[in-house]
Amino acid sequence: MAEHKNKKEEQLDQFKAKDEGQEMTTNQGLKVSNDEFSLKAGERGPTIMEDFYFREKMTHFDHERIPERVVHARGFAAHGEFETYESMKEFTKADFLSEAGKKTPVFVRFSTVVGSRGSGDLARDVRGFATKFYTDEGNYDLVGNNIPVFFIQDAIKFPDLVHALKPEPRSEIPQAASAHDTFWDFVANNHETAHMVMWQMSGRAIPRSYRMMEGFGVNTFRFVNEEGQAHFVKFHWKPALGVHSVVWDEAQKINGKNTDFHRQDAFEAIENGNFPEYELGVQLIKEEDEYKFDFDILDPTKIWPEEEVPVKIIGKMTLQRNVDNFFAETEQVAFHPGHVVPGVDFTNDPLLQGRLFSYTDTQLIRLGGPNFHELPINRPVCPFHNNQRDGYGRQTINIGKATYHKNSLSNNTPTPVSEKDGGYKHYSEKVEGQKVRARSDSFQDHYSQAVLFWNSMSSAEKEHIISAFSFELGKCKEISVRQQVVDMFANVNLKMAQEIARNIGVKEPMEGGSSVTSSSPAVSQANTVFKANTRKIAVLVAEGFHAKVKNMVEAMKEKGMEPEIISTHQGTIEGQEGVQMEAAETFMTTESVLFDAVYAVGGEKADNDYDKHTSYFVQEAFSHFKPIGASFGGKRVLENLSLSNEKGVIIDDEEDNFIKSFTDAVAAHRIWDR
Ligand code: HDE
């Protein structure tokens, strides 16, 4: 992390404890003389009750686990800083957005949604993207996802959605997967899911990295300025490295080869100083324009197409420091969309309204009571005072006897603060209505934007969507469920639905389609940022490799790539002219799915073992559309596989030529039109 410590760092430091080099004690501070043998009646006798140290140690262990999050159980988190680019005072009085250059400490947690804490990172799933801003006016939580819309329109349906998505109740199978009957039965019988399901079947649900995905606030919020004027606002995080995905076959293999692929990728990037960066953008709609769109701007199953409502970039977040302790920080952090600061307010988005209840409620069971705000990671960096008292695990020693408002014994303090002095005042939206359990007609169009999304996809993205549906539905045991889903998605695109139907052996729908022809290029990953930075390159080396290989590897590093030497054995590999390289991995310890590209350089002479492993490595990378490079002794393997003239295969012994073409190919991420 940067030299200077921000307010949150300083605060956290007070709670840190280093046990290394210390004498061992009980939790009461009593020095422990032996930590290996319980107290027994005779060497071969029973353990006796009196052994308070054994009991303390075991009891603590027995209680080490807390319930995992009911959704978003598996995650990764890091500390960082947010810097505002320009004053947003015109739109919001939020202090952390009030002036250019203002910095705010943040803590960000990324997550998968469906799986339990130990599940694989590469599940086909939505990713959580939750940010806690420790502002001078209190904590502000932007609790978002990497997909800009949601499955349902009203929070009351959330338990149903999650029950359908989680493993089935009898067998607890499948783990961290939507490819089963109950999820797709829910989809088919709740058509508001159509738009989100299109995103979920796209590459968005299998990101290459947490560093390469967008974040969205999803719900519609309000910005309110000093004058009390409000704008509707949607939040976006845009990753500096662009939005990139793996392919499904790869995702499944990665889950087996390295369950922690995303967590490790982010952890190592931060440790190596490649700090993940995201720009914060806002879409703003004036209050008076609320009804000017052909969708309801409060409907969480709708995007505000960026071409219609531009995204204004207002700041940048950089993640600079990994946690010191996963449990204390990542597991105990408690996010809540209701943690707002003056200048940020809510709307009547019915999904958001329900979320405002659920998050605090769930922390009460997960973190064991109402004092979770006192945990170091959750404490605001500004002072907090009120008359709330007691409860499990209370740490603050509140002094004084008046614990009520109003009072005279403490001069009527703590004192509520006027709006002028920073007291939070809810936006005084006029609300009137009759009590109804109903949904507005303006929320009834479930297909237009699902079609808009489909229309915006490149041909490779369309193919992926069709394959994803075919995989997911192909795993459903109930033919009726498969048929219902195919019939439902005929409303999005008839040809797409017919192709899926053929793949999964159900009747092709004969009618459907849509008259919507519009598209939003901004939602296609074909139009994202492309960079070779931090891409992992597998350099496949054999004994006697050409001396220039080392220069090639150095040149890759200069371009920001991360080459890793792989060979038939670990340790030093001897090249020509006395050049040596260290192999960090072997063909046994790693695999092409863990890399972005392959570079085969071989050795001095043919080596059957190397050739066999390299052929497999290269073929797999090729089938996942990855760039492949070869020079010197590595060319032979590509020739034998007849891949030398394929797209994205770069064969050259000359350094400048090779590095230029290879860097471009790596930056392109994948060669989809292979
Ligand atoms: Fe959440 N969600 N959610 N959610 N959500 C939780 O809170 C809930 C929704 C999101 O890293 C829970 O602390 C309801 C949308 C993230 O700790 C819980 C509804 C979006 C995280 C909960 C939604 C999210 C959560 C479970 C529908 C994107 C992980 C554990 C009305 C904008 C935060 C917890 C972290 C976690 C409820 C829908 C994002 C149960 C009722 C939409 C990133 O409170």
Residue closest to 587 by CA, chosen among 564, 570, 567: 567
Residues 534 and 510 in one domain: no
Mean pLDDT of 79-101: 98
Beta strands in 15-146 (DSSP E): 75-84, 103-112, 127-135, 138-145
Using one digit for the tens of pLDDT, what is the confidence trace for 597-624?
999 999 998 899 999 999 999 999 999 9
* Three-class secondary structure of residue 193 per DSSP: helix
Mean pLDDT of 42-54: 97
Does 343 have pLDDT greater than 90? yes
Beta strands in 88-220 (DSSP E): 103-112, 127-135, 138-145, 215-216
Share of the chain above pLDDT 70, in %: 100
The Cα 92–Cα 513 span in angstroms is 42
3-state SS of 52-88 is HHHHHHHHHHHCCCCCCCCCCCCEEEEEEEEEECCCC
Distance 116 CA to ligand 1 centre (A): 15
Mean pLDDT of 418-426: 96
The domain of 514 spans 446-526
Mean pLDDT of 159-171: 98
Kindly state whether residue 211 falls inside one of the protein's structural domains: yes
Residues 255 and 159 in one domain: yes
User: How large is the greatest C-alpha to C-alpha distance in the chain, in angstroms?
Assistant: 92
Residues 519 and 633 in one domain: no
**What CATH number should be reported for the domain holding residue 365?**
2.40.180.10
Ligand 1 atom at shortest distance from the alpha carbon of 77: 11
Kindly state whether residue 354 falls inside one of the protein's structural domains: yes
Last residue of a domain, one of 493, 508, 526: 526
Does 342 have pLDDT greater than 90? yes
Distance 351 CA to ligand 1 centre (A): 11
Using one digit for the tens of pLDDT, what is the confidence trace for 273-321?
999 999 999 999 999 999 999 999 999 999 999 999 999 999 999 999 9
**What CATH number should be reported for the domain holding residue 552?**
3.40.50.880
Mean pLDDT of 506-528: 97
Domain count, the chain: 3
Cβ of 355 closer than 6 Å to ligand 1, yes or no, is yes
Cβ of 75 closer than 6 Å to ligand 1, yes or no, is yes
Residues 518 and 535 in one domain: no
Residues 229 and 152 in one domain: yes
Q: What is the pLDDT of residue 310?
A: 98
241: left (phi over 0), alpha (psi -120 to 50) or beta: alpha
Last residue of a domain, one of 378, 394, 428: 378
Distance 376 CA to ligand 1 centre (A): 21
* Three-class secondary structure of residue 367 per DSSP: coil
Mean pLDDT of 143-166: 98
Q: What is the pLDDT of residue 1?
A: 47
Question: Which residue among 126, 218, 355, 372 is best mutated to probe the pocket of ligand 1, counting the most ligand atoms within 8 A of its Cβ?
Answer: 355
3-state SS of 524-535 is CHHHCCCCCCCC
Residues 625 and 476 in one domain: no
The Cα 653–Cα 640 span in angstroms is 18
Residues 520 and 541 in one domain: no
Q: What is the pLDDT of residue 638?
A: 96
* Three-class secondary structure of residue 5 per DSSP: coil
Residue reference for tokens 């994948």: 670
Ligand 1 atom at shortest distance from the alpha carbon of 154: 31
Mean pLDDT of 248-273: 98
Residues 521 and 538 in one domain: no
Element (H, E) at 461: helix 459-474
Using one digit for the tens of pLDDT, what is the confidence trace for 476-485?
999 999 999 9
Q: What is the pLDDT of residue 606?
A: 87
Cβ of 360 closer than 6 Å to ligand 1, yes or no, is no
Distance 191 CA to ligand 1 centre (A): 21
Mean pLDDT, the chain, rounded, equals 97
Q: What is the pLDDT of residue 3?
A: 63
Kindly state whether residue 56 falls inside one of the protein's structural domains: no
Q: What is the pLDDT of residue 576?
A: 97
Mean pLDDT of 410-426: 96
Residues 152 and 278 in one domain: yes
Kindly state whether residue 357 falls inside one of the protein's structural domains: yes
Kindly state whether residue 70 falls inside one of the protein's structural domains: no
Reported ipTM: 0.98
Residues 514 and 598 in one domain: no
Using one digit for the tens of pLDDT, what is the confidence trace for 210-235?
999 999 999 999 999 999 999 999 99
The answer to whether the predicted template modeling score (pTM) of the entire model surpasses 0.90 is yes
Cα end-to-end span (Å), the chain: 42
Query: Is the distance from CB of 233 to CB of 277 less than 8 angstroms?
Result: no
CA 158-163-164 angle, to 5 degrees, is 100
Distance 196 CA to ligand 1 centre (A): 16
Ligand-binding annotation for 109, yes or no, is yes
Using one digit for the tens of pLDDT, what is the confidence trace for 644-665?
999 999 999 999 999 999 999 9
Kindly state whether residue 399 falls inside one of the protein's structural domains: no
Ligand-binding annotation for 610, yes or no, is no
Ligand-binding annotation for 366, yes or no, is yes
Q: What is the pLDDT of residue 180?
A: 98
Residues 85 and 228 in one domain: yes
Using one digit for the tens of pLDDT, what is the confidence trace for 4-18?
899 999 999 999 999
Active-site residue 145, yes or no?
Answer: yes
**What CATH number should be reported for the domain holding residue 457?**
1.20.1370.20
Kindly state whether residue 498 falls inside one of the protein's structural domains: yes
Last residue of a domain, one of 526, 561, 595: 526
Residues 372 and 272 in one domain: yes
Cβ of 72 closer than 6 Å to ligand 1, yes or no, is yes
Structure tokens at 401: 């006897």
Task: Give the other-Cβ count within 10 Å of 538's Cβ.
Answer: 26
Active-site residue 27, yes or no?
Answer: no
Kindly state whether residue 22 falls inside one of the protein's structural domains: no
More confident: 2 or 268? 268
Cβ of 69 closer than 6 Å to ligand 1, yes or no, is yes
